[in-house]
Chains A and B, each alone.
Chain A
Amino acid sequence: MYEIWLGLNIMFEVALTVLPWLLGALAVWIALVAAALLRGRARWRSTLPASVMIGATIAALGLWFVPLMTKSSIYEMGYWVDWANLIGLSLAVGGVAFAFIWPLLATVACPDSGDPSCGESR
């Protein structure tokens, strides 16, 4: 339990150090989702596979760039604990990317709200 509590506190303190960036990203995400919802004809379902694919690709790339962003490299993975952490972090990066890309694609895939083909697969 202590380690879970410690982990939560670490995440919280990390978040505090990047709070302006977090707030900015949250505002962008809300704007993207709002834009998609307010248009009323966003293609959520049809853009899901592409969004998942892009998120998965970014997660895969994360295996390389997450260590680089932390002054290390994929060649420094010593044992399974390192790999588990790296995969977890990369999945998180891919998940965040997916959260932004899906509403974006859903909106831009249907730029003309007067197009009768748009909104069929909401």
Chain B
Amino acid sequence: MNRTTTGAAAPPDAGRRRFVLKAGALPLAAAALSASSRKAQASTKTSAHIVIAGSGLAGVALANRLTRELDGAKVTIIDRKEIHNYQPGYTLVATGIWPVDKVSDRNADLLPGRVEWIKDMVAGFDPDANTVLTEGGQRVRYDYLVVATGLHLDYAQIEGMDVSAIGANGLTSVYPGPQAAQATWLAMDAFRRQGGEALMTLPATPLKCAGAPLKMTFMLVDRLREAGKQAASKVNFHSALDNIFSVKPVNDDVLRRWTELGVPVTFNSKLVAIDIGARRATFESPEGERQQLGYDFIHVVPPMRAPDAVKNSPLAWQDGPFAAGGWLEVDKETLRHRRYPNVFGLGDVNGTPRGKTAATIKKSAPLVARNLIDVIAGGEPSQRFDGYTSCPLLLREGSALLVEFDYEGRLVPSLPMIEPLQDSYFAWLMKYRLLKPAYMAVAKGRV
């Protein structure tokens, strides 16, 4: 069942050469990109076996970098998924901006030829024995491990929730995948034609793309406005926290905008149950008081945690704020495991403050690759991560905010002229047209 793809006979830069060939019509760009990549190529000789758990953006980006920058290493990636979904595009699909087929690519097209691909899911980790266990029963030994499994959408914490019902009875949720995003748009499109009561939710756990619930709210209001149904509708936002976004300037700015748009926010109000057929949602306060509300449209954002394979393993945080979610216990600066020095973490699974986005991976994948190579070479990690992440926050069709921030919640624009809280066509253009190309370049290990 597990097909492995090995390329021992392939030249060291086969992936790069394939890339350059594809660029036949773009000789200048190809020459520039190729020349630059050669500088960073195959500088460290090793016979180490590196296992990457997960083939999302983090896993694929790291596989490309390690196969290029290590000479002689065996790199294995474990994940059954054949389709590679561009998750930052889900909000565009779910709000009618992109067609659904724009968010799906093939992992086979993104993985380098020299990687061993075990098409199975990780079932557990035994870091004391340097072993990964798969659902198919394989025990894969490693010298170094990179955990990039992503996270688990814990819809089960919401009583009565049924992911397969997304799209029916006004039930929506952008997170599970492209089909759910498409179904969400169809439900939103139907809702905006008639208007009514909408409930938007936010759980108390760490989230991937924490801006998505806010984008969905802004875009729902915009779609109602376009349809002339804004006045006949009520959009209410329920946050399980005492804020809606962990970065205070952004939080305050969005709340001000929602006041102007007539979107009230109920804080400390957690979605705990839903009756899909009756269109009723139950919210709970921190004191345990429950309130049932009817709706015509609801956007459910699930609680999130680490996948069971990580949560139930010794690799998870054992205490502290990240223990409840079972997040990976890494040092937030080096992204190296705090107790197992031959283990690194990359992406959503990391138990670090903020930063579960593709932008985080864009910045941290090169860093993890370098730190891992430092360790393989017998040294200590040389790179430090500042927690950079980014959120192009859709305000309406045609305009967005380009918010970038770090671990401390400081706004850190990549370019000094960018004003993070300014309604912007440029930010919109980035989200609409330029970030997926950037994502692909990250996945191929070039940026």
Contact = CB atoms under 8 A, between A and B. Distances in A.
Interface of A: 2-3, 5-6, 8-17, 19, 22-23, 26, 67, 70-73, 76-82, 85-86
Contacts of A82: 424-426
B397 A72 contact: yes
B438 interface: yes
Nearest to A72: B398
Contacts of B419: 79, 81
A76 B447 contact: no
B33 interface: yes
A3 B426 CA distance: 15
A63 B397 CA distance: 18
A78 B399 contact: yes
Contacts of B232: none
A22 B29 contact: no
B383 to A, nearest CB: 14
A21 B180 CA distance: 32
Contacts of A76: 398-399, 423, 425, 428
A60 B22 CA distance: 34
A81 B426 contact: yes
Contacts of B417: 80-81
21 contacts: A5-B447, A8-B29, A8-B33, A9-B437, A9-B441, A10-B441, A11-B29, A12-B33, A12-B441, A13-B441, A14-B434, A26-B25, A70-B433, A71-B398, A72-B399, A73-B398, A76-B425, A78-B422, A79-B424, A80-B417, A81-B426
B9 interface: no
Given A6-B438, A13-B441, A71-B398, A85 B425 contact: yes
A77 B446 CA distance: 32
B291 interface: no
Interface string B63-89: 000000000000000000000000000
Nearest to B435: A10
Contacts of B22: 16
Nearest to B26: A15
B425 A72 contact: yes
A6 B438 CA distance: 7
Contact of B428 (A14, A16, A70): A70
Residue of A5, A13, A70 with most partner-chain B CB within 10 A: A13
Interface SS of chain A? helix
A13 B425 contact: no
A9 B447 contact: yes
A86 B32 CA distance: 26
B186 interface: no
B437 A13 contact: yes
A9 B438 CA distance: 7
B26 A13 contact: no
Contacts of A85: 425-426, 429
Contacts of B90: none
B418 interface: yes
B425 A19 contact: no
Contacts of A12: 23, 26, 29-30, 33, 437, 441
B440 interface: yes
Contacts of B426: 81-82, 85
Shortest 7 CB-CB contacts between residues of A and residues of B: A13-B437, A72-B398, A9-B441, A82-B425, A78-B423, A76-B398, A10-B437
Contacts of B423: 76, 78
B97 interface: yes
A15 B399 contact: no
Contacts of A80: 417
A79 B397 contact: no
A90 to B, nearest CB: 12
Contacts of B29: 8, 11-12, 15
B94 to A, nearest CB: 15
B432 interface: yes
Nearest to A19: B25
B415 A72 contact: no
Contacts of B438: 6, 9-10, 13
Nearest to B36: A5
B2 interface: no
Interface string B22-58: 1101100110110010000000000000000000000
B437 A67 contact: no
A23 B437 contact: no
B398 A6 contact: no
Given A12-B23, A14-B433, A73-B398, 13 more contacts: A8-B29, A9-B446, A10-B437, A13-B436, A17-B437, A23-B25, A71-B97, A72-B398, A72-B399, A80-B417, A81-B418, A81-B419, A85-B426
Nearest to A11: B29
Contacts of B434: 10, 14
